[in-house]
């Protein structure tokens, strides 16, 4: 499996780490800390040094009830940071729902567009189709303003898989190469705790669609609900959920704590590789 991601080609033989850098006032875990471009750039460089393969820059919080941000404000926050990080050694992803922001971000050198709205906004597909950027298509029921009011599904895994397959087909029909597409079930986006758990448990169904799967569970409220921990005490719970996700086929994990997540992943990978070589020896014997 290969992912074309702007200047990068990822073979996805091991799970990739996407480090989160929120250039926002109100993100649920790091809001306000990185609004200053210099601090954001310094933090992104730390994440790259800690092993991030991709840096995900977001200039609008999408947490439940967050205030919408104008495209011009997103652009103003993103462009200087994209410029400063161009040669930081990791692929640069921009987390946005807006076509206007996508266009500017791509011109400023973004390698990936991460759209929590699955490229459903007017003009979003046109903004990205002609580029070589990786495209993360996420599932969300409703909009961030109201998505946690009454999420409802008959079959969360089946419905999310069907939605993601439909969006990937639409992108392909618009001329986007399949190797550019990544799918994400959107943990916490219009989902109850039970929906989130069912989606993680059934992630193999989404992975079976044949495209790389990205999962973001880091510090999310589902971890807080299960453990009773505040947002800055959710690392262990986040890592447990992340490893469940990679065991069920996730190829990219979106995390705030890159160093710890990378350590957990390299240990997981070493065990997974030992398991597959044992299976091969048994088969040959």
| Active centre residues (catalytic) | 220, 254
Which residue among 4, 16, 17, 20 contacts ligand HH2 (CB under 6 A)?
20
Site string for ligand HH2, 105-144 (x = CB under 6 A): ---------x-x-------------------x-x------
Q: Are the CB atoms for 181 and 135 separated by under 8 Å?
A: yes
For the record, the structure tokens of 57 come out as 């820059």
Q: Are the CB atoms for 195 and 160 separated by under 8 Å?
A: no
Say whether 8 sits in a helix, a strand or coil.
strand
Nearer to ligand HH2, 67 or 87 (CB): 67
Q: Which part of the chain contacts ligand HH2 (CB under 6 A), choosing from 19-27, 152-160, 171-179, 269-277?
A: 19-27
Which residue among 6, 10, 23, 24 contacts ligand HH2 (CB under 6 A)?
24
For the record, the structure tokens of 8 come out as 């990068």
Least gap, CB of 145 to ligand HH2 (angstroms): 13
Which residue among 214, 222, 239, 264 contacts ligand HH2 (CB under 6 A)?
214
Half-sphere exposure of 4 (CA within 13 A, CB side): 9
The reply on whether position 163 binds ligand HH2 by CB under 6 A is: no
Nearer to ligand HH2, 134 or 216 (CB): 216
Nearer to ligand HH2, 96 or 103 (CB): 96
Q: Are the CB atoms for 110 and 94 separated by under 8 Å?
A: yes
The reply on whether position 151 binds ligand HH2 by CB under 6 A is: no
Angle of CA points 280, 284, 285, to nearest 5°:
115
Nearer to ligand HH2, 217 or 278 (CB): 217
Residue with the two structure tokens 């997981």: 268
144's CB contacts (< 8 A; 6+ apart) are 61, 62, 63, 64, 65, 66, 116, 189
Q: What's the per-residue H, E or C state across 29-95?
A: CCCCCCCCHHHHHHHHHHHHHCCCCEEEEECCCCCCCCCCCCHHHHHHHHHHHHHHHCCCCCEEEEE
Least gap, CB of 282 to ligand HH2 (angstroms): 37
The reply on whether position 223 binds ligand HH2 by CB under 6 A is: no
Size of the site for ligand HH2 (CB under 6 A): 22
Measured distance CA(75)–CA(144) in Å, rounded: 20
The reply on whether position 102 binds ligand HH2 by CB under 6 A is: no
Binding residues vs ligand HH2 (CB under 6 A): 20, 22, 24, 27-29, 58, 61-63, 66, 95, 114, 116, 136, 138, 184, 186-187, 214, 216, 254
């Amino acid at each position: 499996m290969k992912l074309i991601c702007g200047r990068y080609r990822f073979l996805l033989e091991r799970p990739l780490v996407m480090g989160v850098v929120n250039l926002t006032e109100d993100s649920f875990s790091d809001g306000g800390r990185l609004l200053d471009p210099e601090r954001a750039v310094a933090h992104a460089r730390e994440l790259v040094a800690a092993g991030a393969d991709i840096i995900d820059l977001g200039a609008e919080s999408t947490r439940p009830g967050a205030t919408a941000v104008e495209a011009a404000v997103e652009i103003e926050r993103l462009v200087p940071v994209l410029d400063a990080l161009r040669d930081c050694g990791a692929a640069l992803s921009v987390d946005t729902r807006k076509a206007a922001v996508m266009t500017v971000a791509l011109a400023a050198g973004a390698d990936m567009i991460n759209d929590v709205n699955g490229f459903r906004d007017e003009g979003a597909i046109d903004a990205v189709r002609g580029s070589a950027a990786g495209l993360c298509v996420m599932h969300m029921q409703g909009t961030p303003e109201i998505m946690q009011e009454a999420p409802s599904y008959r079959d969360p895994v089946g419905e999310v898989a069907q939605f993601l397959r439909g969006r990937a087909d639409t992108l392909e029909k618009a001329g986007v190469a399949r190797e550019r597409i990544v799918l994400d079930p959107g943990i916490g986006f219009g989902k109850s705790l039970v929906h989130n758990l069912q989606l993680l448990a059934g992630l193999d169904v989404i992975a079976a669609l044949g495209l790389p799967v990205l999962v973001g569970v880091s510090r999310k409220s589902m971890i807080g609900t299960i453990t009773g921990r505040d947002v800055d005490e959710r690392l262990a719970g986040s890592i447990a959920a992340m490893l469940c996700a990679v065991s069920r086929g996730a190829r990219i994990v979106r995390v705030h704590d890159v160093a710890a997540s990378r350590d957990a992943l390299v240990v997981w990978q070493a065990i997974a590789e030992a398991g597959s070589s044992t299976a091969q020896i048994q088969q040959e014997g």
